[in-house]
Amino acid sequence: EVQLVESGGGLVQPGGSLRLSCAASGFTFSNYWMTWVRQAPGKGLEWVANINQDGSEKYYVDSVKGRFTISRDSAKKSLYLQMNSLRAEDTAVYYCARDYAGYLDLWGRGTLVTVSS
Amino acid sequence: SYELTQPLSVSVALGQTATITCGGNNIGGRNVHWYQQKPGQAPALVIYRDSNRPSGIPERFSGSNSGNTATLTISRAQAGDEADYSCQVWDSFVVFGGGTKLTVL
């Protein structure tokens, strides 16, 4: 089955760190750009970061630059998001998605990150 | 950065046609994609490149794009179409509209 499954979310204090993972299956992971998108409670979708097929290109929304790092492991068919110096405004459901020529054609179910003391 | 404008909410009577707009500067010159998100679920692609439907998406869903407005049209609206709909373009990175809540009356 073609799917993406996120994990690693949870409750973290401001200033803390979390590492999200996204496991891909059912397709050739190394052929695709991959993307993280987040959705704060009651808000719209926000692109966070993306990475190209071999990990040599990485892009971030301004609000997370210097704090978040996207990476991938093709052998494990996995996408990651290392999140440091977390803030309350980072509270959101984080989705990983497959990027096909500029649109996101496959999404995971998401993992909730809550930043609170 | 490029901005996309959507109405916060749209209502449609059961069986009628819903129209959801997505405004942007000369958006007609860009590829527009649409996502459906039902409560508690992840987004799902319903239209790509203005007017193309992924497999499994009913023909009732259609899209168009011209000038400063892209449009998602849902014909013969059903209760199961109630959801948030978001448009998206590529502008050096993925850009989403704010989303429109569709209510089927």
Exposed, middle or buried: residue A100 (CB in 10 Å: 0-12, 13-18, 19+)?
middle
Among B16, B60, B14, smallest CA distance to B36 is for: B60
Question: Which residues of chain A neighbour B43 with C-beta distances below 8 Å?
Answer: 37, 45, 95, 104, 107
Using 50 as the pLDDT threshold, list the residues of chain B that sit under it: none
Among B3, B6, B24, B7, smallest CA distance to B67 is for: B24
Among B41, B90, B98, beta carbon nearest to A102: B90
A105 with B48: Cβ contact below 8 A: yes
Structure token pair of residue A68 = 């978040």
* Closest CA of chain A from B42, distance in Å: 5
B93 with A50: Cβ contact below 8 A: yes
Task: Please write the tens of the pLDDT for every residue from A40-92.
Answer: 999 999 999 999 999 999 999 999 999 999 999 999 999 999 999 999 999 99
Tell me the C-alpha distance between A22 and A30, whole Å. 14
Structure token pair of residue A51 = 């990475």
Q: Tell me, what's the pLDDT at B92?
A: 86
Task: Please write the tens of the pLDDT for every residue from A8-46.
Answer: 999 999 999 999 999 999 999 999 999 999 999 999 999
